[in-house]
Amino acid sequence: MKSRSGTGGLVYSTEGGRMCPACRQPLAACACAAPVQPAGDGVVRVSRETAGRKGKGVTLVRGLALDDAALAELGRQLKAACGSGGTVKDGVVEIQGDHRDRIVEVLQRAGHKVKRAGG
């Protein structure tokens, strides 16, 4: 027989989405745990990638130690600066096209330590 200890229980609800295992509230309303900041070395890396995109290149910005709201706002600013589309997925800003030079310049003006990664 399976034990009903404090570690088991509701993980996902169609009404509230992902649930906190400790307080059993939706993660958006959870007060028991602070959002986890991604650990990094403080360097923002800007690279270009075409893998899995049918040959279309995108510029990736990784290593930004920002919360989700600030990351989404920075993504909007970078898209506007490049005049291109893009998205924010899993803490990575993706900008359509090869805009590495422009993005490095914008991030350096914003006070970030930036490196170009890849070729």
CA-CA distance, 48 to 7, in Å (whole number)? 41
Count of helix runs (H) and strand runs (E) in the chain = 2, 7
CA-CA distance, 82 to 48, in Å (whole number)? 14
Tens of pLDDT, residues 5-33: 455 566 666 666 777 777 777 777 777 76
CA atoms within 13 A on the CB side of 18: 4
Which listed CATH number (3.40.50.1390, 3.30.780.10, 3.40.190.10, 1.10.10.10) goes with 43-116? 3.30.780.10
Distance, C-alpha 35 to centroid of its chain? 13
Average pLDDT, the chain: 80
CA-CA distance, 54 to 75, in Å (whole number)? 23
Sequence-ordered alpha helix ranges (H) in the chain: 68-82, 100-109
For position 39, what pLDDT does the model report? 55
Tens of pLDDT, residues 33-81: 655 555 567 788 999 988 888 888 899 999 888 888 888 999 999 999 9
The residue ranges of every structural domain in the chain are 6-34, 43-116
CA-CA distance, 59 to 105, in Å (whole number)? 14
Task: Give the global pTM.
Answer: 0.64
**Distance spanning both ends of the chain, measured CA to CA:** 56
> Which residues, in sequence order, are bridge partners of residue 86?
95
Tens of pLDDT, residues 73-108: 999 999 999 999 999 988 889 999 999 999 999 999
